[in-house]
A and B are shown apart, each in its own frame.
Chain A
Amino acid sequence: DTGVSQDPRHKITKRGQNVTFRCDPISEHNRLYWYRQTLGQGPEFLTYFQNEAQLEKSRLLSDRFSAERPKGSFSTLEIQRTEQGDSAMYLCASSSPGLAANEQFFGPGTRLTVL
Chain B
Amino acid sequence: DTEVTQTPKHLVMGMTNKKSLKCEQHMGHRAMYWYKQKAKKPPELMFVYSYEKLSINESVPSRFSPECPNSSLLNLHLHALQPEDSALYLCASSPLSILLGNQPQHFGDGTRLSIL
Do A and B come from the same complex? no
What is the interface of chain A, defined by CB distance below 8 A to chain B?
A: none
What is the interface of chain B, defined by CB distance below 8 A to chain A?
A: none
